[in-house]
Amino acid sequence: MIIYLTHIICTVLLCITFPNNVCILATIYCLFLIPVVHQKIIFDIVEKKHPPINILLKYMLHMSIYENYAKRINLFFIWVMIYLWNEIMYLVDHGEKRLCKIDNILDENDKRIAHLYHDLYEDDTVNRFHQNLFDTNKLYLFDRTESSKRISLGIKNYRRMIKDNKKPTLGYDYEKKYYNAALGRNIFIYNRNFILYFPCFLIFLCVGYVDFHEKITTMITFSIVFYELCGKSLLSRKYFYISSNIFIVGLLSVASMYIPINVINPVINA
């Protein structure tokens, strides 16, 4: 319901920008109100990733602050990078969830894959080649030992709490390790945070190539990209979708009072 309301709010805010022709993008938000389309967006947000169509819409909104086509093209590549980063985050998240599900099924059958998790089970870390075995997918199926059963039970309890939307109290290092394992953060790739968040730094650096001459448009561009990167990193998919759409549309609605905002540059008769 709240996402449906978000689309209505964005439609109204874009209509306010009239006579700037960016208001024509309100029709796209109107299309999002169609039940079939709305359900598809909900499915993507809950089960998969930030809808690619929404990233394209944000680009179209963002480019409307520029009349120069060279800047629009530069901005297009920035949003392509954001789209690719969105795909990377989806692939990592999907891989972690799938492997966690496999691990749960094995746990129910009292089995365990050695070196599936990085630096978690004592039975694995005693092997001096553990890091190499994790990185090269040299995995082995074993029966659970008493030591591994204790760790697996801790992970299972945290997964149950996560499923019930309960925030655990993490007082000890081993509890933090078990909680991260329950989230799947050490099951897929070793340098997870570097792969996920280093592109943010590169994307933000590239924003300077779009515009550094006009004060208002520069501030708008940096604000939009900064919120896109930080919001995606810190918020859940649902709340990021809601807040990012309202933020960019609201920002452009205010900016329309100071600068022309047009998706299609108006023809000026000589």
Residues 18-58: tens digit of each pLDDT: 777 888 888 899 999 999 999 999 999 988 888 999 999 99
If asked whether residues 108 and 173 sit together in one domain, one would say yes
Q: Tell me whether residue 221 is in a domain.
A: yes
If asked whether residues 231 and 165 sit together in one domain, one would say no
Q: Tell me whether residue 24 is in a domain.
A: yes
User: Residue 266 — pLDDT band, cuts 50, 70, 90?
Assistant: low
If asked whether residues 111 and 177 sit together in one domain, one would say yes
Q: Tell me whether residue 76 is in a domain.
A: no
Q: What mean pLDDT is reported for the chain?
A: 87
Range of the domain at 216: 2-66+211-255
220 and 29 Cβ atoms separated by less than 8 Å = no
Q: Tell me whether residue 135 is in a domain.
A: yes
Helix, strand, or coil here: 140? strand
Residue 172 has a pLDDT of 80
If asked whether residues 174 and 220 sit together in one domain, one would say no
pTM: 0.87
Q: Tell me whether residue 223 is in a domain.
A: yes
Q: Tell me whether residue 165 is in a domain.
A: yes
Token representation of residue 186: 């050490």
Residues 99-121: tens digit of each pLDDT: 888 888 888 888 888 888 888 88
If asked whether residues 178 and 139 sit together in one domain, one would say yes
Backbone angles phi, psi at 140, to 5 degrees: -135, 145
Domain count, the chain: 2
Please count the CA atoms within 13 angstroms of the CA of 59 that sit on its side-chain side. 18
Residues 202-253: tens digit of each pLDDT: 998 888 888 777 788 889 999 999 999 999 989 989 999 999 999 999 999 8
